[in-house]
Structure 1
Amino acid sequence: MPAPSITFAGLPSGARTAIEAEIGSILRVEDVSTGLNSSLSALAHTADGAVFLKGLRSDHRWVWTQQREADINPYVTPLAPRLLFHVIAGGWDLLGFEAIDGHHADYCPGSPDLPKVTVALRELASLPCPDIELRLAEQRLADYVADPADAEAFAGDALLHTDWNNHNVLITRHGAHLVDWGWATRGAAWLDPAHWIIWLIAAGHTPSEAEGAVALLPSWKSAPPRAVNAFAYASGNLWEEIAGSAPDDWTRSLLDAARLWQQHRKDRS
């Protein structure tokens, strides 16, 4: 379930005061649509520019993702926006990032954004995985594989983003920037291209076209076919769980994409 949303004005006064103590007087605020992992999502405009704010209640079950983003930020800039502050006040856990003036990536076939996203995937694959607490890919997917031993193929020492929702990829004239690192993971390097494939299929690519979009990435070339098959199988099961018995249109599109890829990999085996 997504985190319940709140406007900046709806925050307790103590939380708003703590934010202004970090960035100065706020002249105006643009509340923006929140993602699944954040309750607060807003652009705060000050005399010095704009700051992107995100936050969760301090007692929310996903609040650990806020700390994860704060911990990982020094290792992933400038691919990600720079973290300006992390404060806990008024019962809220709050992050402030430099604002990026860009648009959400378009994953549709023929989109000019696609080459920029593949460059970002290359850049991410070149970053060393920091020695901080991260989720492990083999553990995150262990409940969704056909055989528990299959999950071991997902283990590795690469830093992974794992959430390639196009709203987490901002496109500027300089390239693609990745936001929302709360689910950063340590695992096999080919997993991020594999995660992206499902989003590409949901955007209108055939499974073959989606695999072709990542075919030249060095990290993808290292992927053992049987391990990719196991991931496609696990992804179908994962999205079935997320969809539940009454999926909305957005979740249904991802579930359908995961099933299409799962069947594609099965047909090739």
Structure 2
Amino acid sequence: MATSRIGLDRLPPAARAAVEEHTGSLLTVEETAEGFNSEIAARLTSASGTWHIKGLRTDHPRAWTQRQEAAIAPFLTGLAPALRWRVEAAGWDLLGFEALSGHHADYAPGSPDLPEVASLLRRLNETSCPGIELRHAEQRLEHYAAHPDNLRHFAGTHLLHTDLNNTNVLVNDHAPQGNQARLVDWAWATRGAAWLDAAYWTIWLIAAGHTPASAEDWAAEIPAWHTAPAEGVTAFAAANANIWSDISNADPDPWTLRLATAANDWHAHRRTGGPWPDVCSAGFAPATF
């Protein structure tokens, strides 16, 4: 469920003053609509530069996402916007990131952004997983897997993003080809099997109009995909059909229903190569993945 968004002008004066210690007096504040986890999200411009700010109250139930992003940011050079500063003041935790230019990735069939996203995921696979506290993929999926034995397929030592929503991928057309895309919003960073981000991407590709077979062809552009056992991919598809069923039932927005349909279609493809009835998530834990 999305977090309610507020404007920067509603920050306590002490928190805004702490931000301006890093930025100088602000000339423009452009609120942004994308993202679900932040109460504050805006592009800030002053005489000394431009930043993207995101923030939550320190007593917010999702305050851990700010800590997660701050902890992992130093390890994401070339993959994500750089974290320039962090402010904790007047009950707020605020992160100031490098402001990137570009557009959100287009996942539609035939999009020129698809090779750039594949290149980004290959670079991520080549990045060492930092020795910081991260959630484990098998733990995140344990309430949704059809069988406990399936969880072994998801375990691993690789750094994963796991939230391949196209709005989390920024593409800069002016950067060198093959290095144009960056990932934002690392709150759900995870340690797990190397092929999982390609699998997460598959669901979003289907939701964008790809057939399951076409989506898997794009996943195959990431070498780690070829390390995945077939039964592991099918188990992952089944678990995500249950996850998105839970999410769409709890928050039935058009986009959650679209993702639930995509996840269910992929599971059908993995099981039979054709249509499959809706996967029932009855009895599964709430969506705390």
TM-score, structure 1 as length reference: 0.98
Matches within 5 A, 1:126-145: 126-145=126-145
Q: For residue 222 of structure 1, what is the aligned residue in structure 2?
A: 227
2: CA distance, partners of 1:214 / 1:73 = 25
Superposition deviation, residue 10 in structure 1:
1.4
2: CA distance, partners of 1:20 / 1:121 = 35
Local SS of the residue matching 2:170: strand
Matches within 5 A, 1:1-269: 1-173=1-173, 174=175, 175-244=180-249, 247-268=252-273
- The one-letter amino acid paired with 2:135 is R
1: CA distance, partners of 2:62 / 2:246 = 18
| Overall identity of the aligned pairs, in % | 54
State how many pairs are aligned.
Answer: 269
1: CA distance, partners of 2:86 / 2:185 = 14
Local SS of the residue matching 2:121: helix
2: CA distance, partners of 1:120 / 1:77 = 12
Superposition deviation, residue 78 in structure 1:
2.0
Contact 2:34 2:167 in 1 (8 A): no
Between 14-23 and 176-185, the greater mean CA deviation after superposition: 14-23
Residue by residue over 1:48-74, the C-alpha shift from the partner in whole angstroms, topping out at 9 and shown as x without a partner, is 221000001111111111111111111
Structure 2 gap ranges (5+): 275-289
2: CA distance, partners of 1:49 / 1:68 = 25
- The one-letter amino acid paired with 1:7 is G
Contact 1:34 1:40 in 2 (8 A): no
Residue by residue over 1:203-245, the C-alpha shift from the partner in whole angstroms, topping out at 9 and shown as x without a partner, is 0000000000121321101011000000000000000111125
2: CA distance, partners of 1:187 / 1:143 = 16
2: CA distance, partners of 1:156 / 1:58 = 32
Residue by residue over 1:99-133, the C-alpha shift from the partner in whole angstroms, topping out at 9 and shown as x without a partner, is 00010000000000000000000000000000000
Contact 2:118 2:221 in 1 (8 A): no
2: CA distance, partners of 1:3 / 1:97 = 20
Residue by residue over 1:184-219, the C-alpha shift from the partner in whole angstroms, topping out at 9 and shown as x without a partner, is 000000000000000000000000000001213211
1: CA distance, partners of 2:133 / 2:233 = 26
Superposition deviation, residue 12 in structure 1:
1.4
Local SS of the residue matching 1:50: strand
1: CA distance, partners of 2:251 / 2:119 = 36
Superposition deviation, residue 177 in structure 1:
0.5
Superposition deviation, residue 268 in structure 1:
4.9
Root-mean-square deviation (Å): 1.2
Q: For residue 282 of structure 2, what is the aligned residue in structure 1?
A: none
Relative to 1, partners in 2 of residues 1:246 and 1:91: Cα closer, same or farther, differing over 3 Å?
A: closer
